[in-house]
Amino acid sequence: MVNNRQPDKILGVLGGMGPAAAAEFLRLLAERAPVSRDQEHAVTYLLSDPQVPDRSSAILGTGEDPTERLKKNLLTLAGWGADFLAVPCNTAHFFIDRFRDELPVPLIHIIDETVGAAGRMSPEGAWLLATRGTMDSGLYQRYGEKRNYPFFVPSLEVQQKVQESIELVKSNRKAEGGDLLKGVVLKLWEERDLPICAACTELPLAYDASGLPREKTVSSLGALCEACLRALYP
């Protein structure tokens, strides 16, 4: 994909939403980087803030708005010297989109990158699985429309089970989350045999734990990782 060399750019990562997803993102960055020694990895600044108010609750009107805290954290990373930013949380981008143009450095947008990855894997469309907040916000549907990409949305009953799987991963019960997600996905595939777009950064962890075939999912964590590596190793 890229030449082995030491990146001259610094990546700033706003994590903690949730911590396991951010840790997996950093693992993927290290595992997929085109390097042969420590010094060829990118300098990465991580600001992990699990105290950011729940994004889905805010979208659904039952929780505190996290916009100002997200903005403060991203400006902090830029102030530390990050050349570009990444946030391994899909739902947070509903709020980040409000002030993205005010950021002093570029943001690699997880939703835009995931929609692009889904289009390359399955031009005919994909099942969209995400938090209830992301689903209700229409974020992925809007970014899909920009690319003329169709997402298929499960029933509210299925969406609730997906939310439960996400919450199990957040509570360090990944195996249980994977078992629950497996049952959901197998039923969706009976209805329409399309890849799963894991549009919440906990869902790739649950999907990996489920034993389902990896070639039938589009990971938002993976899409963000690949985009960051392209920026770091142009």
Is 200 designated active site?
yes
Tokens representing 88 are 């391994």
Phi-psi region of 127 (alpha: psi -120 to 50; beta: other; left: phi over 0): beta
Is 197 designated active site?
no
Separation CA 88–CA 118 (nearest Å):
17
Backbone dihedral angles phi then psi of residue 86, each to the nearest 5 degrees: -145, 140
Beta bridge partners of 218: 197
Helix-strand-coil percent breakdown of the chain, rounded to 5? 55, 10, 35
Q: Calculate helix-pair angle for 19-32, 156-170, nearest 10 degrees.
A: 80
Q: Calculate helix-pair angle for 110-121, 139-146, nearest 10 degrees.
A: 60
- From the candidates 197, 200, 225, 228, which is the catalytic residue? 200
Alpha-carbon 143 to chain mean position:
14
- Separation in Å, CA 103 to CA 63, 87, 108, 189: 25, 13, 12, 40
- Separation in Å, CA 199 to CA 14, 51, 89, 102: 17, 21, 9, 25
- From the candidates 89, 197, 225, 228, which is the catalytic residue? 89
200 Cβ neighbours under 8 A, 6+ residues apart: 90, 91, 129, 130, 131, 134, 162, 166, 220
Q: Which residues are catalytic?
A: 89, 200
